[in-house]
Structure 1
Amino acid sequence: MSELRERKRELRKAALARRDAMDESDRIEASLMVAEHGDRFLADVEPGTIVSGFLPIRSEVDLRPLMTHLADRGATLCVPAIVENNLQFRELKRGAELVEQGFGTVSPGEDAAVLNPLVMLVPLSAFDRRGGRIGYGGGFYDRAIQRLIDTGVTPHLVGTGFSIQEVDEAPMAEHDRYLDAIVTEEGVIEPSRGT
């Protein structure tokens, strides 16, 4: 295993352990604060804008309140589905039947429209203030973002998580994408990478 991958693995494991240790009521309250901060930060999202979110697994931040606010303002929502080891973003409509995807996830079924999000609410294991992100290690989001860019869509990447997932420095490989912003229960971080 390369030094970079090993460092990411260690940081991921430690950050997820901190997240898992959160009291459930604290996690709920923090998720509601993420929704408040995210709603203000994304207030200029135009009706009809395609926004990808995600449905929580394990101890992840619960974005459903934020996604509801966005939908109420006219955003078109989608969530990831795993198709042939890649992510496909399927439209999420109220009352839509959800199907098991593996890894503890659910998504709309195959009959849902496949969309290209312009704003992506991105899950993470760990993040830093430069916008560095450590995912879950499968590269699903990295590949999905690259596919969107290859089709001419450059999505606005908004990492979402809890402040305890912050690390001093998230190691970044050449193919890794920096986040444009990170929303936690403490507020919005708009990274400065000195560029």
Structure 2
Amino acid sequence: MAVGRNPAGAGGEGAAAAKARLRAERLAARDAMPEAARAAASLALARHAERLALPPGCVVSAFLPIRSEIDPRPLLDALHQRAGIRIGLPIILKTGGLFFRAWTPGDALVPLGFGTSGPAGSAPVVVPDLVLAPLSAFDRRGGRIGYGKAHYDQTIARFHAEGHFPRVVGLAFACQEVGAVPVEPHDIPLEAVLTEAEWIDAAPAAGGEAHA
């Protein structure tokens, strides 16, 4: 069930403040999930792998879970078993944004800082055709609230400036849904959101395009 329907601006609350409130609410709900429930939900993602409709040879970027994030690895294992699907994991740039290095399930990982791990520096850089993005909260119009650093927004904007337009799909638990995500100019839309319960195609707002 969607929660947090108070729109940006209500009661004088701006978009940034509304995002911070919704982020805190939905992360608290995510943190409150029992570990067994989070594990079962992560396994359920793999059952939706076919909904991604990936052509042979494409590159999918994902992430390794930190804190209470949903775990994409069962989904990545399912995708890896498909011929020609390659996987990339994110590396955080000091200047902001991300790039991605190739990774195969089972490969060794190295500490990268910021509480993350990823492929070694010898792994080749890849450019994703599909970005599977983590998030704090989402809505059904493609709105996404991240963690406040705009790493993914910066990265997708850079790809667009370079003439590359990857699909962007959010991965989350169903409890992270909200009624409406406030919009800011730098936000990048999600094509869809995949939860343990369903695949959600982003529906454009009345009179406009889907937004994040």
Same fold (TM over 0.5): yes
Is 1:62 aligned with 2:71?
Answer: yes
Map 1:1-195; keep pairs closer than 5 Å. Answer: 3-37=14-48, 39-42=49-52, 44-73=53-82, 74-84=84-94, 85-193=96-204, 194=206, 195=208
1:165 corresponds to which letter in structure 2?
Answer: Q
Paired residue secondary structure (2:148): coil
Contact 2:135 2:147 in 1 (8 A): yes
Contact 2:80 2:105 in 1 (8 A): no
Instruction: Select the structure of larger CA radius of gyration.
Output: 2
Provide the rounded CA distance (Å) in 2 between the counterparts of 1:103 and 1:188: 30
Provide the rounded CA distance (Å) in 1 between the counterparts of 2:125 and 2:163: 16
Point out where structure 2 has 5 or more consecutive residues left out of the alignment.
1-12
Aligned-residue RMSD, C-alpha: 1.3
Paired residue secondary structure (1:138): coil
TM-score by length of 2: 0.87
Paired residue secondary structure (1:143): helix
Provide the rounded CA distance (Å) in 2 between the counterparts of 1:147 and 1:112: 22
Shift of 1:186: 1.1
Contact 2:100 2:126 in 1 (8 A): yes
Moved over 3 A (4+): none
Deviations 1:118-177 (A, max 9, x none): 101110000001010000000100001111111111111110000100001111211101
2:5 maps to which residue?
none
Provide the rounded CA distance (Å) in 1 between the counterparts of 2:79 and 2:171: 15
Point out where structure 1 has 5 or more consecutive residues left out of the alignment.
none
Q: How many residues align?
A: 192
Shift of 1:102: 2.2
Alignment identity in percent? 45
Provide the rounded CA distance (Å) in 1 between the counterparts of 2:46 and 2:115: 22
TM-score by length of 1: 0.94
